Chains A and B, each alone.
Chain A
Amino acid sequence: MDWHILVQQLVNGLTLGSIYGLIAIGYTMVYGIIGMINFAHGDVYMLSAYVTAICLATLFSFGVNSLPFALLATLVMTMVITATYGWTIERIAYRPLRGSTRLAPLISAIGVSLVLQNGVQLSQGAKTQGVPSLIPTTLRFGEGDNFVQITLVQVMIILVSLSSMAALTWLIQRTSLGRQCRATQQDRRMAAILGINTDRIISTVFVIGAAMAAIAGVLVTLNYGSFDFYIGFVTGIKAFTAAVLGGIGSLPGAMLGGLILGLSEALFSGMVNTDYKDVFAFSLLVLVLIFRPTGLLGKPEVEKV
């Protein structure tokens, strides 16, 4: 393989990987704090893609001409609305199930996922939707047929996801809220005894996860331009794979797992076969679970009575 194709695939993989990492944060934080796989998270991401397109179209229909302002406003609005969805889902579908059977939250999450998918399909129609290509700028390196092409959106994706990861790390490591999150993750009952409102912390985690998924949704929508109500399903499983790969419950692990998954998927589709790239990602999940269930940065799970 020529070097320029390799570099091109690496750039694509890096972009894809940052997106997976952003979504994986929602899985890993929720799993870390209440030990539950939030199946509806992929569909929250799908929802954010719709909200992005709706916000952009609304802003343009009101005659907003400044592109940076429109993008910023869309990002903020999408984050707010998607985070509200995250909060509401936790409140309605998961909180009443604390202390219920082990299977109950999982089934409830499947229900939420179906409701979101079908609700969006019913209200927005089943056809593929899209946004116009807003930032067509591309950077080219190399001459003739051997070139590497990086779009401005790809650069933006990597920058925005890295900075939001940094912001989240700061929030978790340095602020009082982050300390409460970490305490609740380590021992929920003890945290409650020490005066932490654990229910509110759990809600906060869902809000953070949904907001990160919203950032991913905005970036993906700007990059690919088209989406439908089904995208949350496959992307959700892949982001979960990223979370498991990095070690579920670990925040840097989610980002690392996302990058590794994105890179290996891009290389696989570049070198082997595009049709089977999803199969490759899912097989990777099974292989990781067999050989290293704790992931790269995870701590081994201790079962206690």
Chain B
Amino acid sequence: MPPAAVSSPASRVRWNLVFRQAVLEAAAAFALALLLFGPIVGLVLDGYQIKNEWQRPLPIATIIAVGRFLVALAVHTPTGQAALERFNARRRQPGVLVVGISEGDRRRWWLLAVVAISLTLPFLASKYWLTVLIQAMIYVLLGLGLNIVVGLAGLLDLGYVAFYAVGAYGLALGAQYLDLGFWSALPLAAMLAALFGGVLGFPVLRMHGDYLAIVTLGFGEIIRLVLNNWLEFTGGPNGVAAPAPQLFGLEFTRTARDGGVPFHDYFQIAYNPLHRFIFIYLALFLIVCLMVGVVTRLRNMPVGRAWEALREDEIACRALGINHVLVKLSAFMMGAMVGGIAGVFFATYQGFINPTSFNFFESALIVAIVVLGGLGSTTGVIVAALVLTILPELLRAFADYRVFAFGVLMVLMMIWRPRGLMRPRRRAFEVKGLCP
């Protein structure tokens, strides 16, 4: 397909007109940028006074104007035309990449290598990197959970952090009031989070999908406010301590409390404070592997197919007799449950939690992970979670710009590739002899 030859060959472009147009557009962009950024960026409030910082908006406006000028010129060159054509073609392509059943056997070796590296990494890492790895794993788990809701079922959940908080507080308060340990709290907190998801989701899921987004947003805020204000029960802003994990009753402390046996005594090895973190990491890794397996299988099962079908066309699904409320509810509760599990791990790894860990930015970060990973692609979500949590650790100097960059990335992704960086793959069922 030679688009440049058909639409406007470079020889026939009247460059003087194009140039004048580009200059006009650049000037308009410059004026607009100055109006937008001038007051907000250039005049800084300082008490009731103004600090004049005009040197800040001017470069921004100049960059925007120059960019606009170059883009206006570039779309008239053959290369620019071809790029525009490719861009539009990519946006029109279908969401799910269907691959033949014979493809993809090589990926097993990759999988094995990734698992082997993930299992050896914690034994080599320092304490700092171990905590980073645990955090990354928690976000992988959160990303996988939200991916079921947003990526597969197409329900935008903006209060996902609420279920994360339910899980975390489930462990901490369960230990405080009911004397639950880590392993007994894990399934209970997960079920509690799923229950919250069900109670919240059931009334809202019957309606137009957009309402869910705002209701979950409000719910995330309600949970945070309640945790913050209910001083007698949750400790309010002071937070609450969460118990450390145990391995069949073995504690990861130097000396055991209440007559227990510490892990290093039992195995006759030297005490190492990292053992606790390595153990959390390994348990988390197992759960993540389990989740990947479960989600991969679910996607090929009727309920998983119903999730994706509902995402693509709800009316058609209802016409085909799919109970849309129950199918959506199953995705929503499943996602909530995974969020609860991640919350339990977060609480036990931190040892102490308070409501500030569960604000809207956390929800937005998880949504960003799912969106950048390619709504629905498991590999993409894992890669995005690792990149978005480990990259900020490497770029500490730009930590303030993190949320800003997430916002810009989300908008750009929706314009450039609304289906995400990695397209989800789905195996085709090939029956030999039936189809020509």
Partner of A57, one of B49, B200, B203, B211: B49
Least CB distance from A177 to B in Å reads: 22
Q: Is the interface of B mostly helix, strand, loop or mixed?
A: helix
A282 within 8 A of B: yes
> Is A122 a contact partner of B410 (Cβ separation < 8 A)?
no
Partner of A61, one of B50, B413, B414: B50
Binds B, one of A102-110, A146-154, A160-168, A189-197: A102-110
> Is B214 a contact partner of A103 (Cβ separation < 8 A)?
no
B150 within 8 A of A: yes
B190 within 8 A of A: no
Distance in angstroms between the alpha carbons of A283 and B203 in the assembled complex: 12
How many chain B residues sit at the interface, stated as a range, is 35 or more
Partner of A110, one of B91, B95, B211, B367: B367
Which residue of the partner chain B has the closest CB to A57? Answer: B50
B240 within 8 A of A: no
Least CB distance from B415 to A in Å reads: 5
A269 within 8 A of B: no
> Is B209 a contact partner of A102 (Cβ separation < 8 A)?
yes
> Is A81 a contact partner of B36 (Cβ separation < 8 A)?
yes
Distance in angstroms between the alpha carbons of A15 and B316 in the assembled complex: 46
Distance in angstroms between the alpha carbons of A96 and B413 in the assembled complex: 12
B315 within 8 A of A: yes
Binds A, one of B14-22, B167-175, B215-223, B273-281: B215-223
Partner of B45, one of A36, A54, A97, A233: A54
Distance in angstroms between the alpha carbons of A51 and B39 in the assembled complex: 7
Distance in angstroms between the alpha carbons of A106 and B154 in the assembled complex: 11
Count of CB-CB pairs between chains A and B under 8 Å = 177
Question: What are the residues of chain B within 8 A of A37 when measuring CB–CB?
Answer: 210, 213-214
Least CB distance from A120 to B in Å reads: 6
B44 within 8 A of A: yes
Question: What are the residues of chain B within 8 A of A180 when measuring CB–CB?
Answer: none
Q: Which residue of B211, B214, B219 has the most chain A CB atoms within 10 A of its CB atom?
A: B214
> Is A112 a contact partner of B411 (Cβ separation < 8 A)?
yes
B101 within 8 A of A: no
Question: What are the residues of chain B within 8 A of A33 when measuring CB–CB?
Answer: none
> Is A101 a contact partner of B95 (Cβ separation < 8 A)?
yes
Question: What are the residues of chain A within 8 A of B91 when measuring CB–CB?
Answer: 100
Interface residues of B (CB under 8 A from A): 32, 35-36, 39-41, 43-45, 48-50, 56, 91, 95, 150, 154, 156, 158, 200, 203-204, 207-211, 213-215, 217-219, 221-222, 225-226, 229, 315-316, 360-361, 364, 367, 371, 375, 400-401, 403-404, 406-411, 413-415, 418-419
Interface residues of A (CB under 8 A from B): 35-37, 39, 47, 50-51, 53-55, 57-58, 60-61, 80-81, 84-85, 88, 92-93, 96-97, 100-108, 110-120, 122-125, 129-132, 233-234, 237, 240-241, 244, 275-276, 278-279, 282-283, 285-286, 289-290, 293, 301, 303, 305
Nearest first, the 4 A-B pairs at minimum CB distance are A111-B410, A114-B407, A115-B407, A282-B218
